[in-house]
Homo-oligomer: A and B are copies of this chain.
Amino acid sequence: MKGVDLLKKIINSKQTLVLFANCSVSYNGRAKSFLGKGDRLIIIKSDSTILIHQPVGNNPINYMKQDTQFEIKGSTLYAYNSKEYLDIELHEIYSILNKELKDPQKLELHGTEKHMSDMIYDNPDCIEKGFKPLSREEHTKYGFIDVFGHDSNNNLTVIECKRFTATLDAVTQLRRYVEKIGSLKGVKGVRGIMAAPNISPNAKQMLEDYGYEYRKVDPPEHYGKHRRDQVSLDSF
């Protein structure tokens, strides 16, 4: 089939490879899947990561991580490692593009939950007046705690923070920490505080059932508000 010989040449060339093709895909590994005939975008990276994308959607429909081996037999591309198998039956290759890409950069990311717990640690008054944080990310056998300290009456206080809506899971997490701290330090009446910009109704209910408290705390910056004034509507 047209393109297969070229594909064989470059498949292990440490270049990044892009393929428009009509194909069927089957996967067997952590789960099992089959995808019938259709046009897709197949990407093979220089670290042998393979991604198969349909023309719509955010995520690859099939994929395998780095350290994948490739073989082409007939018009089928086999990708496999020790535990997983991906078979791509190529019905037609529309085009192939390949290039050695050089990219030394790493992403700088801001506005994570870590930044939020740092903000609480540095500005404890946003929780309540007199709160004195003792540590960040206290490790316990039952998990680790975002922020941990004393309130103005010297009660041990555990804070769990979430960047967005606090869910049932977040409340059970908080509960686990409060109980663990209580048993570790041998005290009762450890306070639990959920710090988040929002909380779901059921999570709020559960929080109150356990005698814990909710504090509305916005993330360090409000990240949706940035306006790019340099883009005007008539830029075309």
Interface residue ranges, A against B (CB under 8 Å): 8, 16, 18, 20, 28-41, 43, 45-47, 49, 51, 53-58, 61-63, 65-66, 71-73, 78, 80, 83-85, 87, 94-95, 97, 99, 101-112, 141-143, 168-169, 172-173, 175-176, 202, 205-206, 221, 223-224, 226, 228, 230-231, 235-236
Contact = CB atoms under 8 A, between A and B. Distances in A.
Given A55-B103, A71-B231, A231-B71, A18 B35 contact: no
A41 B39 contact: no
A56 to B, nearest CB: 4
A49 B43 contact: no
Contacts of A94: 99
A124 to B, nearest CB: 24
A32 B220 CA distance: 12
A8 B235 CA distance: 11
Given A103-B39, A223-B31, A224-B83, A53 B58 contact: no
Given A30-B223, A80-B231, 15 more contacts: A16-B41, A32-B111, A32-B221, A35-B106, A45-B55, A49-B57, A54-B101, A57-B66, A58-B65, A71-B231, A78-B231, A83-B224, A143-B168, A169-B169, A172-B176
Given A41-B43, A142-B168, A18 B87 contact: no
Contact of A175 (B20, B142, B172): B172
A38 B102 contact: yes
Contacts of A205: 141
A55 B101 contact: yes
Contacts of A168: 142-143, 176
A221 B29 CA distance: 11
B55 A202 contact: no
Contacts of A56: 45-47, 49, 66, 103
A178 to B, nearest CB: 12
B57 A228 contact: no
8 contacts: A28-B226, A39-B103, A41-B101, A49-B56, A51-B53, A58-B63, A61-B107, A169-B169
